[in-house]
Structure 1
Amino acid sequence: MSRVGGGAVAAGVAATVALFAAGCGGGSDQAAAKESCNGKTVSIGITKSASDAPFYVAQDKGYFKKQGLTAKFVPFDSAAKMIAPLGSGQLDVGAGAPSAGFYNAVGRGVKLKIVADKGSMPKGYGYMPLMVRKDLYDSGKVKSIADLKGLKVAEPAQATATSNTAAVLLASGGLSYGDVKHEFIGFAEQPTAFMNKAIDAALITEPSATVAEQRGVAVRLGDPPAFYDNQQLAVVLYGGKFAAEKSELGKCVMTAYLEGARDYVSALSDGKVSGKNADEIVGIVTKATGLKPELYRTIVANYVNPDGVVNTESLRRDYDFFKQQGWLEGNPPAVDDLVDSSFAKAAAEKLGAFAKAGS
């Protein structure tokens, strides 16, 4: 079931900070929240990708400042490289694509918590389509998923959530995960791999999917939400120490993040950043990422739940797939032990019900 939907963006600086106390009932709680958040600096890992939009919006529109915080963005080449500094306490907040490597790291003692949605694919927001090389499609060699048997299909890395996306899509064509040859190539490099005929098909995220399409080297063959609705592809992570010892600070960060997420979702329409206030969001995100505005307006957008709700059922489904493939080491913690929804729930309560702008 799609999670699109929700309630109204919060108002006023004083209300957002003070509501932590009001919801819990007392001036002492309010003082504690201010003491925990005001004047504090929080380090947040980013990859300068479009899926970091809620963080960019929260920063640009002053939502972190509204919580009394200074947000220090720390760039990483990939979300996977955030895991170690999050676990060691060198980084407070980050993001990740739940993978076998993620669960194995936690099993080895890296302390992490999944605290909010950062990228999911409900209906209309399939921002990681299955694409096939255009010459194969035009020639009639590949017209359906079943035709991929024995061909080279690219994923960004082995044993990620994308691997299960591939497995589900292949199953819809009567194929198993092992019926194709898997190539592991980063999303940004996949359009070139198509052009060089190094791959036959790929699960490729935006904006690389649209780039491949515009270059005339690949066409869309499968839309993941049609086969695996609302898959949880990216999540917000708190370092274990940050989550355990700085709970009020974590709520302040989450409140700012969800305000940014709600502005972002309000700008979405029909799977693209083309709704109310789209110009503002396009300006903020393209300035932060370097994407061309015309390209950003064209791509299929990633969805973010306005209340930060994580699709734990999807996480469990992918986890089970990793286990079936033999990719999990030892006995890593169960998904439910890693998801801490308390920060998002508290922030959503303080912000109130979400009502999409213009609705």
Structure 2
Amino acid sequence: MPTNLRLARACSAGATLMVATMLAACAGDSGGDGGGEGTQAAGGDACSGEEVAVGTTNSASDAPLYIAQDKGYFEDEGLSVTLQPFNSAAQMIAPLGAGDLQVGAGAPSAGFYNAVASGVELRIVADKGSMPENYGYMPLMVRKDLFDSGEVTEIADLEGRTVAEPAQGTATSSTLGTMLDSAGLTYDDVQHEYIGFSEHATAFDNGAIDASLTTEPNATVAEQRGVAVRMATPPEFYDNQQLAVLLYSGAFADESAEVGHCFMRAYMQAARDYVDAFQDGELTGEAGDEIAEIVTGATGLDPELYREIVPNYVDPSGAVNMDSLQKDYEFLSEQGLIDGEVAVEDIVDSSFAEAAVEDLGEYSPGDD
């Protein structure tokens, strides 16, 4: 178990504003040995009637949460789970710290680490969105007229250009820094424009930006509108970056650990269903049809668009990429965006995911 973080003081309005400003922006049976019947025996009695409030951003990367709800995995564990939509992950931090939410999803950003440093107790407990090969769901986009004219066809051509990111101090900044470094450029060799992902296509259309790092489905939307093209994908430069994580509040992890274990078993069953629905980043077969129906039904995404996008990956054993978390933290610190000091390993609690693997069995693709 990681070292417990003790609440030093209540979140002030200023701290909450900092988090909201800096954290903004920024899925049948399981693929292991665990099915609904076995899970009921494992956790149904212990967690019967327990209520869990979960923050979502109503995005495709919340897929395991929607799957677990739709397929009854939470119910099998005895849990009554409410999925509460937020406009951004930043808005979840204060309610997580106050105990109004037990579970949330977020990007490991400067705002997140500053919230922890200020005394908000949070735990990173599982992967929710990572980018190995074929799952680079946040491509580097370039304005189509610049690409077609030959002005910007490779990363080195971005020097002095305006590049959009969702907000200052997110993991996306580290992604961009790594990609620029591959071409001998630094993060400061480009101009930064902070625009929400959903607004990137419009910014390309009116010439406000030259390039962007844009998550799906917004990247595909920009392509379909003919305003931008994909120039590079992050896994080519930064393999398996940990872009989004599942969070437990400190109180939930410490005081309701059994409920946390029940929740994680259900989440991991759903994550395995999600992974089984894809082959090299493409939805396949009946499993793919089922997942597409669940996710698009929950998010309102157009089913045809969902099948076109490059998906995020979710580790079927819940493992987070510690090296990636540390790398991004160090980048944000070097940018002067971290207030105080946080030991990354102290806020990652792998015990819930590890226990779920013990209960469900090691993941094997396509197992019933």
User: How well do the aligned residues superpose, as a CA RMSD in angstroms?
Assistant: 1.4
1:357 maps to what in 2? Answer: 366
Q: Equivalent residue for 1:29?
A: none
Alignment partner, residue 136 of structure 1: 146
Query: What is the alpha-carbon distance in structure 2 between the residues aligned to residue 48 and residue 73 of structure 1?
Result: 9
Identify which of 11, 16, 20 aligns with 2:39: 16
Whether 1:277 and 2:287 are equivalent positions in the alignment is yes
Paired residues in the alignment total 339
In 2, the alpha carbon distance for the partners of 1:12 and 1:234 equals 26
CA contact (8 A) 2:64 2:271 kept: yes
SS at match of 2:45: helix
The aligned runs of 1:9-48 (5 Å cut-off) are 9-19=32-42, 34-35=45-46, 37-48=47-58
Task: Choose from 345, 351, 355 the match for 1:336.
Answer: 345
Specify every segment of 5 or more residues in structure 1 that has no aligned partner in the other structure, as ranges.
1-6, 21-32
AA of the residue aligned to 1:59? Q
Is the CA contact (8 Å cut-off) linking 1:266 and 1:275 kept in structure 2? no
Cα distance in 2 for residues equivalent to 1:48 and 1:94: 12
Instruction: Work out the CA distance in 1 between the residues paired with 2:339 and 2:223.
Output: 38
Instruction: Describe how 1:308-347 pairs up with structure 2 within 5 A.
Output: 308-331=318-341, 333-347=342-356
Distance 2:70 2:146 in 1: 44
Q: Which residue of 2 aligns with 1:105?
A: 115
Q: How does 1:202-241 map to 2 (within 5 A)?
A: 202-241=212-251
Would the aligned equivalents of 1:276 and 1:358 in 2 still touch at CA under 8 Å? no
Q: Does 1:263 align with 2:286?
A: no
Matches of 2:55 and 2:31, distance apart in 1: 27
- Name the aligned partner's letter for residue 39 of structure 2: T
1:272: how far off? 2.6
Q: Residue type of the partner of 1:199?
A: I
Higher mean displacement: 85-94 or 265-274: 265-274
Distance 1:93 1:290 in 2: 22
Measured after TM superposition, the shift of residue 12 of structure 1 is 4.2
- Say if 2:102 is the partner of 1:79: no
Q: Do the aligned residues in 2 keep the contact of 1:54 with 1:261 (CA within 8 Å)?
A: yes
Task: Give per-residue Cα distances to partners, 1:233-288, cap 9 Å, x unaligned.
Answer: 00000000000101110000000101111100000112132355100000000000
- Distance in 2, Cα, partners of 1:214 & 1:358: 36
Q: Structure 1 runs of 4+ off > 6 angstroms?
A: none
How far apart are residue 13 of structure 1 and its match? 3.6
Partner of 2:170: 160
- Report the Cα offset of residue 358 of structure 1: 7.2
Q: Letter of the 1:194 partner, please give it.
A: F
2 CA distance for matches of 1:275 and 1:226? Answer: 28
Q: Which residue of 1 aligns with 2:25?
A: none
Cα shift readout 1:277-316 (whole Å, capped 9, x = no counterpart): 1000000000000001100001000000001001011000
Aligned to 1:24: none
The yes-or-no answer on 1:52 pairing with 2:62 is yes
Is structure 2 residue 127 aligned with structure 1 residue 117? yes
Identity %: 62
Matched position secondary structure for 2:353: helix
Residue of structure 2 in register with 1:69 after alignment: 79
| Deviation sequence 1:187-216 (CA, Å, 0-9, x none) | 111011111111000000000000101111
SS in 2 for 1:277: helix
Residues in 1 aligned to 2:152 and 2:59: alpha-carbon distance in whole angstroms: 31
1:25 maps to none
Q: Which amino acid aligns with 1:273?
A: L
Aligned amino acid, residue 242 of structure 1: F
Q: Which one-letter code corresponds to 1:300 in the other structure?
A: V
Which residue of the partner structure matches residue 171 of structure 1?
Answer: 181
Counterparts of 1:19 and 1:43, CA distance in 2? 21
How far residue 349 of structure 1 moved from its aligned partner, in angstroms, is: 1.2
Counterpart residue type for residue 347 of structure 2: L
